[in-house]
Structure 1
Amino acid sequence: MTVTSDTGAAADGGSVENEGPPPARFAYERHTWKEIAYLLSGLPSAIVGFVYTVFMVATGVGLSVTVVGLPLLALGLAGSRQLGRWERLRARGLLGVRVEEPSPLARHGGDGFFGRVWAGLKDPVAWRSVLYGFIRLPLAVVGFTVTLAGLFVLWPVLPYVVRGMTNVDRALVRSLLSPSDELERRIAELESDRGVVVDTAAADLRRIERDLHDGAQARLVALAMGLGLAKEKLLEDPDAAAAMVDEAHGEVKLALQELRDLARGIHPAVLTDRGLDAALSSVASRCTVPVQVTVDLADRPAEAIEGIAYFTVSELLQNVSKHARAGQASVDVWRNDDRLLIQVQDDGRGGASAESGSGMAGLAERLGAVDGLFVVDSPPGGPTVVTAELPWRDRTPRA
């Protein structure tokens, strides 16, 4: 479970973990007024939640002996999930408590109507929202009463009283309305990573389409037109036709080279046929600085992992060629238990970063999407050491 507060956001816009809102003071500040608003609005919200919860549980359990009872209970639990979401939003806006949203309801009971019903009945997030609805009402009554009276009677010490009561609410939200456990958190991360993979795949498809349209396709169209003109001039001006054919031959060579480069960018044949050692040596040979490649693998990993490792090293060596101003570089690849490790070093100027917006950040996202790690150590002046880890998966034998 990750809980952060929005009151201590970093100056650069990033989120940081902190201890909560600033200390309560006699002078009423913005945070104090938000806490007062939270406690005063808590009573109507708690009444709605309590009435809904009692009605839903009583109706669902009372009719559970009939055909419609359990589906109604599952539907009611889905509503409790939404009430929990509303309480998280209220706590986030007024108390500065940020709690990760639970993952969507998983249908472990299978597809179809009964699968949805069974998944709803087993939903731990919904049942904890039900418990929150029962517990919250008496606390809301006390909070509303004390706060309202305190605005007229306890004005000097009200900020301290309000802080104490809202701290109880903070703890309640964190314990009952947060994702269930580590598995819930991991599911949420994987869903986010899936979005990264989809976006990356879409971007790669657009790049391939653009390269085909602007490169090889344009050359082939020009080639077809040139050959058509050469055919017309073949009888009346053989020399001009021969020159056109010679020019078309050159266009064919360029088009083939562009197609080879495009195919290498999708998945190089040398990687499929000979593995990482040969493929990375081929990439290193195109780098503008000398690169020493060492691959210590007794077996080949799964094709997907092998491909990610190849393109990671390829992009890192491109960065070395374009930006590092290095004299030499090295690539080391080895296996450690169930992890594939990659380390790329150069003696260049340093200053590389995996912050958002950089090419390194894109690599970090891609590796994170497959449960990998990406670490950049690049102080100003160098050297730069980039370490990447990927999960090792055995290669599936081909039929």
Structure 2
Amino acid sequence: MFPSLAASLRAPWAAGALPWSAKAWRNTVFVVAGIPVHTAGLVVTVAPLELGLAATPLSVSLTVMLLMTLVFGAACAVLLTVVTPLLTRLQRSRLRALSAVDIAGVELRSGTGWRARAGMIRSESLWRQVAYHVLAGPAASLGALAALAAWALGCALTVLPLFAWALPASSPLNPGAHPTALATTWLLGPVLLFMAPPLTRLVARTDIAAAQALLGPSRAGELQRRVDRLAVSRAALLDAADAERRRIERDLHDGVQQRLVSLAMRLGLARATLPGLSSEAKELLANVHTEAKDALTELRDLVRGLHPAVLDEEGLDAALSGIAARAPFPVRLRVSAEGRAAPAIEAVAYFVVSESLANIAKHARATQAEIRLERDADRLRVTVIDDGVGGADPTGGTGLAGLANRVSSVDGTLSVSSPAGGGTRITVELPCVL
């Protein structure tokens, strides 16, 4: 019970509700610093429009009136597109410096000239900022003035007894003539002092909430910005993974593979130049030589599966031709795609075809297959068809689930048509650019 009571007594200190707390003074500085900025924003935004409305009836003719209206309208448009962003940056700086609230900026204009300004006038973000400077800003200024008045009047009334004796006898606050009025006034001072911090905190929170809602990007804009940021980070991650696969391929090709080639050559040379070995030694040497060649073959297949060098040098057409030539069954390749896609997209397409042919060789019992590579605008379509037994299920724990995950990592789609006994058709659509 006692710890909870002590915590409740310390809560006002933590919340900045006491007049002598540092947080109360920080809030006061924050709201008072906003008064000149809010006032400048209101004056600069509204004054030209009011001047134009006041000067228009003074025109001597309808033509001059319309001309003045157009001139003042253009001036107001220029003022809005030039001054509003400056005022917004000033408010963001105040929020960042005095309240540690960082509001993301909004790009209002792309390009220069009147078309860019016209597009800026139609921008939702611009009018949200104008609403803050015209509506929320003055309201926050009034709240700040009320808080400042509570601080000033509370301090003055609290120290009133110190100089009340110097007041003339006719004053209603003279302690000799009006002791009750002086006591009442003196009690009002501490009340105002203790009311000032909550009022200041309320004004500060309201101002910050309005700024976050109107000066920053809208909810839709913020979501779009997050989507764009995630797309950029995902593309960077895919590029990094692709670069890592290329590095591993180079290391295996230039390191381990060359050592295995040298080992196989030495073993073959030993078999040819050492005739005096026993039959058991010759058999063991032959087996070791065969194992070395098999390991070299498997390593070459692994290197090709990671990221073949021909994919970078010659493109997807040449890389798929190599896969088709190494398949244990006839494979027909049809390519109608012109140009090259992004490296990560080509790597995914190569992986899809390679894994699909491996699955056909293991499970489909097919006699032939066909690979189609097509490009439709900004989409790359890869189709793998076989005449096997069918029945492939992407949810059955086969390699198709891995293919689907790899394709979805670049916003691609994978569809499988595999009726029992009717062969299998795998269709993958990939964006040409991430």
The two structures have a TM-score, normalised by structure 1, of 0.49
- The TM-score with structure 2 as length reference comes to 0.46
Please identify which structure carries the higher helix content. 2
Q: Which protein shows a greater Rg?
A: 2
